[in-house]
Amino acid sequence: MKSLPLLVGLGALTAASSVFAWDYVLLDTDKAAQNQQITSQQLGVKTDKPFTVTMRTLHGGRQEGVSIIDIDNGTMKLSVVPTRGMNVLQASVGDVRMGWDSPVKDVVNPAFIELNGRGGLGWLEGFNELVARCGYEWVGHPGMDNGELLTLHGRAANIPASKVTLQIDEKPPYAIRLKGELKEQAFKKVDFSVQTELVTEPGSTSFSLNDTLTNNGDYPKEYQALYHSNFSTPFLEQGARFEAPVKQVSPFNDKAKGDLGDWQTYRAPTSDYDETVYNIVPYGDAKGDTLTVLHNKAGSLGVSVGFNTKQLPVFSLWKNTDTKGQGYVTGLEPGTSFSYNRRFQRPLNLVPTIAPKEQRQFQISYSLLADKGAVDKALGQVKHIQDGRETEVRKEPLVDLTKEQ
């Protein structure tokens, strides 16, 4: 335990020193979000890379009242949005930016979004994040299921976080943990909570999400999760490649059939391309761990997205290589499910159930691959996990969408 003389006078900050970490409550029932900053210097932490965590509030437009938490770990700068499901707005190392340029420029307060608008596509009015949580009652395209309109990708990205806390380990490597709880609750319908966690370390070019879904209810409930992780330039470009240990790949729909031969490579920004989506069943290693990689054409810069196939057994590759203005972006999307409406996924056994009081963990790690060495090392891991196993390339979509009414 450590005394915190440097915190005297910080006012808004309440630091509780636990055995292992400094704890700050940034937002809670009786504590409003407010502009504040916590620095390694204040904590008396000597690291090669001084770090800073800053909380601020946005104003104007549809972003009125939105909270942002900026974490600068000394090397990587991350922005997290408590008001929008603890989504990761962006991350950057120097001038290399993970994330993308959506036409949506505001960080939109969910108070101003009707998810049921636009035929269930209201979610698109706020979509601009590097990582947007999808779930947890459902994910996928809008449409009727059990007599109810399921809106695009569920509610998680538009649930403001309840209690938000920051923990900083007191010992090297001084891990920085930002936690926020999402409550997805409706009488008779659902009683989920999701304890989200983002972890990074001073000087690191990686961060991890470590989410725990709890079914607080007394009944088993269907659930779905999908981590919509979106990248653009400098990773995405003509000739950029996606690599993963693949057991099965199939086109999402008829449109994607046409480009199936090139499913692992990307186009330049292409007018009228819209999007193609490929459904992937990845291989994991003995523990289920797997790794997916996006790298530029030269193989000199990339990102990896790692996850566990026992937690998130399938993966959607979203290739939205339309024009820059329309949103030149690819989504690497580990999930319990693909992006079909829930009613199409039950026959695929991709609508799992969570028993009363049970929990599910979803852990995803994001790393910048800053040079050819890092890219090659990650591609080596992919090959190692594939381990010579076969890849089934299905020519037809798993779902006959023409049966949709």
Q: Interface residues for its own copies in 119-148 (CB under 8 A)?
A: 119, 121, 124-125, 127-128, 147-148
Question: Judged by CB, which is closer to its own copies: 45, or 68?
Answer: 68
Cα–Cα distance measured from residue 256 to residue 379, given in angstroms and rounded to the nearest whole number: 25
- Looking at the DSSP bridge assignments, the partners of residue 328 are 321
| Phi (first) and psi of residue 326, to 5 degrees | -75, -20
Cα–Cα distance measured from residue 363 to residue 397, given in angstroms and rounded to the nearest whole number: 28
Considering the rule CB under 8 A, would residue 405 count as an interface residue with its own copies?
no
Cα–Cα distance measured from residue 377 to residue 321, given in angstroms and rounded to the nearest whole number: 27
Quote the strand ranges of 288-382, DSSP E.
289-295, 302-308, 314-321, 328-335, 353-354, 359-369
Q: How many residues bind its own copies (CB under 8 A)?
A: 70
Q: Which of 109, 208, 229, 292 binds its own copies (CB under 8 A)?
A: 109
- Looking at the DSSP bridge assignments, the partners of residue 144 are 149
Considering the rule CB under 8 A, would residue 401 count as an interface residue with its own copies?
no
**Sole window of 6-14, 53-61, 280-288, 366-374 interacting with its own copies (rule: CB under 8 A):** 53-61
Q: Which of 99, 110, 140, 397 binds its own copies (CB under 8 A)?
A: 110
Q: Interface residues for its own copies in 242-301 (CB under 8 A)?
A: 271, 274
Considering the rule CB under 8 A, would residue 220 count as an interface residue with its own copies?
no
**Sole window of 54-62, 70-78, 303-311, 382-390 interacting with its own copies (rule: CB under 8 A):** 54-62
| Least separation in angstroms between CB 192 and its own copies | 9
User: Count of CB atoms within 10 A of residue 118's CB?
Assistant: 14
Cα–Cα distance measured from residue 379 to residue 278, given in angstroms and rounded to the nearest whole number: 20
| Least separation in angstroms between CB 185 and its own copies | 5
Considering the rule CB under 8 A, would residue 111 count as an interface residue with its own copies?
yes
Going by C-alpha positions, the residue among 57, 63, 58, 97 that lies closest to residue 77 is 97
**Sole window of 292-300, 319-327, 344-352, 371-379 interacting with its own copies (rule: CB under 8 A):** 319-327
- Token representation of residue 364: 């995803």
The rounded radius of gyration (Å) of the Cα atoms in the chain is 21
- Looking at the DSSP bridge assignments, the partners of residue 281 are 248
Q: Which of 171, 187, 286, 403 binds its own copies (CB under 8 A)?
A: 187
Binding stretches for its own copies (CB under 8 A): 27-33, 56-65, 102-106, 109-112, 114-119, 121, 124-125, 127-128, 147-149, 151, 159-164, 181-183, 185-191, 216-219, 271, 274, 322-327, 356
